[in-house]
């Protein structure tokens, strides 16, 4: 933390995480959690819109992405560890309960915080990825397992690190998923750093090391879930099942004609939804 009260880093278990703390310093805090293969810059279009509404945003570069927080072992990326990282940010910054918004893998972490540490959360907003228990059920009952083939490919050693190089397969895959060329280059350029690529991929490699309890808990905080029907990675079944795993106030919104990359592609529409959700709670 700097002298002006801004949070630039936080530390947990010897790991140092970078944070982008922006907007009105006295605004109600919103923690923004990025997904794969992005970092805090994925919120560049969304954060200024929230600042205009009077919110303060804190966007960490999560485990594997921050240069000072890249453990080598796969087990270090279990869901419980990812959740504990964000709780440490909230606690060390002295923010009290916050709004949490997560996209892609950031949504998985956000679901986990809401289920396990509801005392730290005002509201939850999950983008693209449904409640983990709903996603697992969709994997068993729909074509979701076919859409998620890459999760199994990422279990291989070292080959995926090469696949996501900025000028290779990873770039073409992002373009085919609907990501804009400049954003795809932004997201994959840093993956030339092999330690960062390994850390990002370890989120997938640790999936089978997480305890079942970390993905099945029901959520009771006010929840907004946003899915887009142009998402090539997440089919409709998991999103449709998610309501079963939320006992608190729940809103489900579908963005039509939008790809998986909601914060980049539909920032203004997302801002409208967030404005209503955050102010109402």
pLDDT of residue 214: 59
| Domain containing residue 274: CATH number | 3.40.50.1820
Instruction: Give dist(CA 68, CA 22) in Å, integer.
Output: 21
Which residues are CB-contacts of 240 (< 8 A; sequence separation ≥ 6)? Answer: none
Say if 2 falls within a structural domain: no
Each residue's pLDDT tens digit in the chain (281 positions)? 555 789 999 999 999 999 999 999 999 999 999 999 999 999 999 999 999 999 999 999 999 999 999 999 999 999 999 999 999 999 999 988 999 999 999 999 999 999 999 999 999 999 999 999 999 999 999 999 999 999 999 999 999 998 887 678 899 999 999 999 999 999 999 999 999 999 999 999 999 887 655 566 899 999 999 999 999 999 999 999 999 999 999 999 999 999 999 999 999 999 999 999 999 98
Say if 14 falls within a structural domain: yes
Residue among 112, 68, 105, 70 at smallest CA distance from 87 = 112
> 269 exposed, middle or buried (CB, 10 Å; 0-12, 13-18, 19+)?
middle
pLDDT of residue 165: 74
Say if 203 falls within a structural domain: yes
Say if 38 falls within a structural domain: yes
Residues of the domain holding 16: 9-280
Total number of domains constituting the chain: 1
Residue for token digits 């980049």? 264
Which residues are CB-contacts of 208 (< 8 A; sequence separation ≥ 6)? Answer: none
């Amino acid at each position: 933390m700097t002298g002006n009260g801004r949070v630039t880093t936080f530390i947990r278990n010897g790991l140092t995480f970078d944070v982008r703390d922006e907007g009105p310093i006295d605004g109600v805090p919103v923690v923004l959690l990025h997904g794969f293969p992005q970092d805090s810059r994925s919120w560049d279009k969304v954060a200024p819109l929230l600042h205009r509404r009077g919110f303060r945003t804190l966007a960490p570069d999560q485990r594997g992405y921050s240069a000072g927080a890249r453990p080598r072992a796969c087990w270090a990326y279990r869901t419980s560890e990812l959740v504990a990282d964000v709780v440490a940010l909230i606690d060390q910054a002295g923010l009290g309960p916050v709004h949490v918004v997560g996209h892609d893998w950031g949504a998985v972490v956000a679901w986990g915080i809401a289920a396990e540490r509801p005392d730290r959360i005002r509201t939850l907003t999950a983008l693209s990825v449904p409640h983990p228990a709903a996603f697992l059920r969709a994997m068993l009952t729909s074509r979701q397992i076919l859409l998620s083939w890459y999760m199994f490919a990422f279990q291989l050693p070292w080959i995926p690190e090469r696949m996501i190089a900025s000028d290779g397969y990873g770039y073409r895959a992002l373009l085919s998923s609907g990501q804009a060329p400049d954003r795809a280059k932004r997201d994959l350029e840093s993956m030339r750093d092999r330690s960062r690529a390994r850390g990002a991929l370890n989120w997938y490699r640790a999936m089978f090391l997480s305890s079942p309890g970390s993905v099945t808990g029901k959520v009771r905080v006010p929840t907004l879930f946003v899915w887009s029907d142009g998402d090539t990675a997440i089919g409709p079944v998991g999103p449709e099942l998610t309501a079963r795993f939320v006992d608190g106030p729940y809103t489900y919104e579908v963005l039509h004609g939008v790809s998986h990359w909601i914060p980049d592609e539909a920032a203004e529409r997302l801002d409208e939804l967030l404005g209503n959700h955050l102010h109402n709670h």
